[in-house]
Amino acid sequence: MSILPRQGDGKITVPELLQRKDLAADSPNQKKITCLTAYDYPTARLMDEAGVDVVLVGDSVGMVMLGYDSTLPLTLDEALHHTKAVRRGVRRALLVADMPYGSYHGDLNESLRNAMRFVKEAGAEAVKIEGGERRLELISRLTEAEIPVMGHVGLTPQSVNALGGYRVQGKSPAAAEQVLRDARSVEAAGAFAIVLEAMPRELAAEITRSVRIPTIGIGAGPECDGQVLVLHDMLGLTFEEPPKFARRYANLGEVISQAVHQYCEDVQSGRFPTDAESYHTPASVKNRKAIAIAR
Ligand code: KIV
């Protein structure tokens, strides 16, 4: 199932996001790009109807929905399954699917086939892959095959073992130079946007100025062309302390917990269900029964 863009119906498309970058940052018409992660039909539908520009089926689904302790175990089939559910809830936003670890790290042809599955089977309009310079060839192959690619540089959670943990990237001059090179490579290879994760805002601002594609920041300061957050962080549905950049807009964890406590109490005390919440035997059936008993 896919939603085909039609001009003028408000559908967010890759060319439209690129055009936003063309508008000078100080132009009154320049609109920041809003992006959030979604992993299921109801939240995807709610955020699409609330007007978010880009819905990302992040591989964070592995941690926040499936309970893995990193994004590494997520399988291609699991990622496809969640992308299909999100597709059914999204009409206006651009739908981007994160390729899971291992689905694009080997043979280029196999990586291309895996990316195509997100488009053909799950209805994604673009895929996201982590890594900079070392993904040049892959990004070119995917874009040649008409698959728009969102890059992702800085802290790339799929590299957690290689990086030795989840750390802010680009803090030394040499490290900053590498992140800048990564971002430029991703652009040169044909990506239409880049996620900049966990880096000094000054570096993210420099990258944003030096590339012609939109940057979407997460823990990368306000100068990026757009922002992305993990939905469960912003809604208070995670169990660990969220990172400092993840502003909490609601505490749904508490709301759910309170509702479940209340339900249990009501069942135990007999306050649920009430007569109004029960079905009743029709009077005609009751009368027939009474007659039968009387006989
Ligand atoms: O998987 C994810 O949620 C992401 C965002 C943090 C950008 O990659």
Residue-wise pLDDT for 146-171, tens only, equals 999 999 999 999 999 999 999 999 99
Residue type, 161: N
The one catalytic residue in 121, 197, 206, 240 is 197
Q: With a 6 A CB cut-off, is 233 part of the ligand 1 pocket?
A: no
Cis peptide preceding 273, ω within 30 of 0: yes
CA of 230 to the centre of ligand 1 (A): 6
State how far the Cα of 211 lies from the Cα of 180, in Å rounded to an integer: 10
Query: Which ligand 1 atom lies nearest to the CA of residue 58?
Result: 1
Per-residue buried b or exposed e for 138-162, using 16+ beta carbons within 10 Å of the residue's own CB: bbbbbeeeebbbbbbbbbbbbebee
Q: With a 6 A CB cut-off, is 196 part of the ligand 1 pocket?
A: no
pLDDT at 293: 76
Per-residue buried b or exposed e for 223-255, using 16+ beta carbons within 10 Å of the residue's own CB: bbbbbbbbbbbbbbbbeeeeeebbeeeeeeeee
Q: Which of 34, 59, 194 to mutate to test the pocket of ligand 1 (most atoms within 8 A of CB)?
A: 59
pLDDT at 7: 58
Are 117 and 76 within 8 A, CB to CB?
Answer: yes
> Tokens 């912003």 label which residue?
234
pLDDT at 30: 79
State how far the Cα of 235 lies from the Cα of 244, in Å rounded to an integer: 14
pTM of the model: 0.94
**Angle, alpha carbons 27-183-70 (nearest 5°):** 110
Pairing outcome for strands 33-37 and 54-57:
parallel
Are 200 and 221 within 8 A, CB to CB?
Answer: yes
**Residues in the chain where the model's pLDDT stays below 70:** 1-2, 5-8, 24, 26
Q: Which of 98, 149, 155, 232 to mutate to test the pocket of ligand 1 (most atoms within 8 A of CB)?
A: 98
